[in-house]
Structure 1
Amino acid sequence: MSNEGMSMDSAALNAAIENVHRAGMPGLFAEVRDGDQVWRGAAGVADVATGRPVTADMRHRVGSITKTFTAAAVLQQVESGQIGLDTPISRYLPKLVPGERGAAITVRMLINHTSGLAEYLPYAYPSLKAFPSPADTRPESLDDHRFTRFDPTELIEMGVTAPAVGAPGGAPGVYSNTNYLLLVQLLEQVTGTTAERYITRNVIERAGLRDTELPAGPHIDGPHSRLYEAWFGKVDPPRDYSVYDMSFVGPSASLISTVADLNRFFGMLLAGDIVSPSSLAQMQRTVPVVSQEGKVVDYGLGLYPTKAPGQDTFWGHGGTVWGGGALAVIRADGKRQMAVAVNLQRWNTLDSSGKPQPHPIDDAIATLYRVAMYG
Structure 2
Amino acid sequence: MNSTNNQPDRPGDQSAQGSDDRARRIIAEVATAGRIPGISVAVAGPDGILYSGAQGYADLATRRLSTVQDQYLWFSMTKIATATAAMRLHADGVLDVEAPIGTYLPGYRPHAKHGHPTTRQLLTHTAGLANPLPIRWVRAENQPEDPALLERIVAKHGTPTRAVGTRAAYSNIGYLLAARVIEAVTGQPVQDCVRDTVLTPLAMNGTDYAYRAGLPRSVGYVRIPRVVVPALRWMLPPGIVGPRVDGHTSLRPFVVSGAGYGGLLGTVTDAAKLAAAHAAGPSYAGLGLTSADTEQMRTITSTGKPFDHGIGWFRKPIDAQRTPAFVEHYGTGAGFWNAMRIYPDTGIAMVAMTNTTTAWNFDGLFTELYTCFY
Task: Tell me which interval the TM-score lies in, with the shorter structure as reference length.
Answer: 0.7 to 0.9
Q: What is the aligned partner in structure 2 of residue 323 from structure 1?
A: 335
2:75 corresponds, among 47, 50, 63, to: 63
Asked if 1:263 is matched to 2:272, the reply is yes
How far the C-alpha of 1:101 sits from its partner, in A, is: 6.6
Of the candidates 153, 170, 173, which is equivalent to residue 178 of structure 1? 173
Distance in 2, Cα, partners of 1:232 & 1:153: 36
Write the mapping of 1:81-96 to structure 2, written as runs, cut at 5 A.
81-96=93-108
Q: Quick one: structure 1 residues 118 and 320, their matched pair in 2 at CA, closer, same or farther if it must change by over 3 Å?
A: same
Counterparts in 2 of 1:144 and 1:2: CA distance versus 1, 3 Å: closer
CA distance in 2, matches of 1:146, 1:118: 30
Q: How many aligned residue pairs are there?
A: 333
Say which is worse superposed, 237-246 or 109-118, in terms of deviation: 237-246
Moved more, 91-100 or 202-211: 91-100
- The corresponding residue for 1:229 is 222
SS state of the match for residue 245, structure 1?
A: strand
Unaligned runs of 5+ in 1: 126-140, 348-360
The alignment partner of 2:178 has SS state of helix
201-210 or 190-199, larger mean C-alpha shift: 201-210
- What is the CA-CA distance between 1:180 and the residue it aligns to? 0.3
| Equivalence for 2:164 | 168
- What is the CA distance between 1:103 and its match in structure 2? 5.3
Whole-angstrom CA distance in 1 between matches of 2:347 and 2:139:
42
1:196 counterpart residue number: 191
User: Does structure 2 retain, via aligned residues, the 8 Å contact 1:90–1:103?
Assistant: no
The equivalent residue for 1:27 is 38
Deviation at 1:200, TM superposition (A): 0.5
Aligned residue runs from structure 1 range 1-375, under 5 A:
1-3=3-5, 6=13, 7-8=15-16, 9-23=19-33, 24-34=35-45, 38-100=50-112, 104-121=116-133, 125=136, 147=143, 149-150=145-146, 151-160=149-158, 164=161, 166-171=162-167, 173-215=168-210, 219=211, 221=213, 222-230=215-223, 234-235=228-229, 237-247=247-257, 249-270=258-279, 271-272=281-282, 273=285, 274=287, 275-288=289-302, 290=304, 295-305=305-315, 310-346=322-358, 361-362=360-361, 365-375=362-372
Distance, in Å, in 1 between the alignment partners of 2:225 and 2:155 is 28
- What TM-score do you get using the length of structure 1 for normalisation? 0.79
Provide the C-alpha distance between the structure 2 equivalents of 1:331 and 1:373, rounded to a whole number of angstroms: 9
Residues 374/198 of structure 1: CA separation in 2 closer, same or farther (3 Å cut)? same
The answer to whether the 8 Å contact 2:140/2:252 transfers is no
| TM superposition shift of 1:369 | 1.8
8 Å contact kept, 1:62–1:321 = no
Query: Percent identity of the aligned residues?
Result: 25
In structure 2, relative to structure 1, the CA distance for the partners of 1:204 and 1:19 (3 Å cut) is same
Instruction: Name the SS of the counterpart of 2:158 in structure 1.
Output: helix
CA RMSD of aligned residues (A): 3.0
CA deviations on 1:244-291 (whole Å, 9 max, x unpaired) are: 1311x323111112121122222223413422233223212323455x
- Structure 2 regions of 5+ residues with no counterpart? 8-12, 230-243
- SS of 1:225's partner is coil
Deviations for 1:317-351, whole angstroms, at most 9, x for unmatched residues? 2211321122222221353221111000136xxxx
- Distance in structure 2 (CA, Å) of the matches to 1:144 and 1:88: 36
Distance 1:263 1:65 in 2: 11
Shift of the 231–144 alpha-carbon distance from structure 1 to 2, 3 Å rule, reads: farther
Residue identity in the other structure for 1:244: F
